Amino acid sequence: MSVKDRNKFRQNLLSISEGLTDDDVTHMKSLCSDVISRKEADKISSGFELFELLESKGRLSVDYVCYLADLLKCVGQICLLKYINLGDMTLGTGRCQINTFRLYLTKLGMEIDDIEFEALKKACNCNKEEITHFYQLMTFLENQKKITARDMSFLEDVFKKAKLQGDIPSILQSFKRQLAYEADQYRITSDPKGICVIINNENFTSGHTNRRGTSVDARRLERLFQTFSYEVELHKDRNAKEITDILKAISVRDHWRYDCFICCVLSHGSMGRVFGVDGMDVAISSLLELFFDSKCPSLAEKPKLFFFQACQGDASQQGLEMDIPAMDVKSDVLIDDKQPSAVDLEANMLLGYATPPGYKSYRSEDEGSWYIQALVDRLKGSAERENILDILTQVNNDVSKKHGYARDGSGYVTQIPCPVFTLKKKLFLDFDTKLNHHLQY
């Protein structure tokens, strides 16, 4: 960054600070309570001091202004957004960066006047003279373990006891519903929901067989995720370096406005590796690492899904039933290597493998691969109402029932997919809720 750009950025922060009231700064400090400590907050007397602290904690920079933008929107200072470069950020869509618990406490704080605060303090049986405003009271109740992000019953009771009206009851009810929702499942409500990148390798220049039928898979995946309101990027016939470069470029983007990330790789493969059309391989683990929190912070705590239609070895799963009509299928196998497992992942990731470590996966030249067929069909019918792990269990069952005759002489073969995951909540890829649309500014 040039000195000129840096000076301009700081001047813009000063202009924003000058446009904030003392109440705005107080509310913004509350919104940042999961980022800055109470001791740090008590030392801040201006917006600029808050911005400097956020910079030191990696929440604000010339290239990362979404957190500041959300702070301004949440305190109603949208007019000050003119001082920061929003890029393609919009006022109507996108994922709010502010912690939901902090956001709702601040919404309540913005509604309560001095008289109502005294009534609330009395209802809490708090007689501490040093507690003189709403946020101090909330901090006190949090320290006493009387309010948490998972249990708002005490707060509901004391607000009723204090007989606070206006918008407060509706805010409390919305607060309760939203926290219950987010405690159980990932928030997938942004529009678009996220980026879905599809890498489809069909024509190989390295002497390896071409993967006829894979274009059927790619089209199905593209249509499916477009229907689900994901931003689909399709790449065809990429070499090993290009695969890495594509995903590296996507990983350094700002995903602040998205709730999810999906990657589908259709290619030849081996255990723990996928291949470019040049025959060179890429370690799956190296692709996953690009999206770890430390390298892609704007996807932190958001689900990241990877689906691999590729062999993971050269063994065949032999079918015992011989009365199934033969299918002319090919495998996507090359050589063996190391298979990533859950221990190689960070939290909030899912790997959908077409087949377990060491085994082949199968593809029809006319109908596409068994795995992608089943995956698309199940997602199309159930993604809105069923958790992704339940759907992948159904996909396993669907694929396990398929049999075919392999051209490589393996005879009648079967296949079973192999998901690996570190998801912490339920995930509905096509979930649509009105609960938190008011969080979207």
CA distance 208 to 279: 7
CA distance 211 to 188: 34
Element housing 192 (H / E): none
Share of the chain above pLDDT 70, in %: 83
Asked whether residue 89 carries a pLDDT value surpassing 60, the answer given is no
Q: What is the pLDDT of residues 322-348, one digit of tens each?
A: 222 334 555 454 333 444 454 467 899
Name the token pair of 118. 């005294």
Asked whether residue 358 carries a pLDDT value surpassing 80, the answer given is no
Asked whether residue 414 carries a pLDDT value surpassing 50, the answer given is yes
| SS3 of residue 333 by DSSP | strand
CA distance 249 to 242: 10
pLDDT of residue 314: 47
Give 282's contacts (C-beta < 8 A, 6+ positions apart): 240, 243, 244, 273, 274, 275, 276
| pLDDT, mean of residues 93-111 | 82
CA distance 62 to 81: 14
Give 143's contacts (C-beta < 8 A, 6+ positions apart): none
Give 125's contacts (C-beta < 8 A, 6+ positions apart): none
| pLDDT, mean of residues 288-294 | 93
pLDDT of residue 85: 74
Answer yes or no: are the C-beta atoms of 95 and 259 closer than 8 Å.
yes
Strand partners, 328: 405
pLDDT of residue 408: 57
Confidence of residue 5 (pLDDT cuts 50, 70, 90): confident
Confidence of residue 438 (pLDDT cuts 50, 70, 90): very low
Query: Which domains are present in the chain?
Result: 3-97 (1.10.533.10), 102-184 (1.10.533.10), 194-421 (3.40.50.1460)
User: Is the peptide bond between 192 and the residue preceding it cis, with omega within 30 degrees of 0?
Assistant: yes
CA torsion sign for 288, 341, 200, 227 is negative
Q: Which of 222-231, 317-326, 403-412 has the lowest mean pLDDT?
A: 317-326
* 75 closest CA partner among 107, 33, 101: 107
| pLDDT, mean of residues 31-43 | 89
| pLDDT, mean of residues 248-260 | 90
If you write DSSP's letter for every residue of 106-158 in order, what string do you get?
A: HHHHHH--HHHHHHHHHHTT---TT--SHHHHHHHHHHTTS-BTTB-HHHHHH
Q: What is the pLDDT of residues 364-412, one digit of tens each?
A: 777 888 899 999 999 998 888 899 999 999 999 998 887 776 665 556 6
Backbone angles phi, psi at 359, to 5 degrees: -115, 160
* 173 closest CA partner among 107, 97, 112, 116: 107
DSSP type of residue 37: -
Residue of higher predicted confidence among 14 and 168: 14
DSSP type of residue 361: -
Rounded to the nearest 10°, the torsion over CA 107, 109, 114, 119 is 100
| pLDDT, mean of residues 175-201 | 87
CA distance 263 to 247: 9
Confidence of residue 149 (pLDDT cuts 50, 70, 90): confident
DSSP type of residue 61: B
By annotation, the residues acting in catalysis are 268, 311
Between the alpha carbon of residue 71 and those of residues 44, 314, 394, the distances in Å are: 16, 54, 42
Burial letters 53-88, b for 16+ CB under 10 A, else e = bbbeeebbeeebbbbbbbbbbbbebeebbebbeeee
Name the token pair of 338. 């190391």
pLDDT of residue 412: 64
pLDDT of residue 57: 86
CA distance 33 to 379: 38
Q: Is the pTM above the cut of 0.85?
A: no
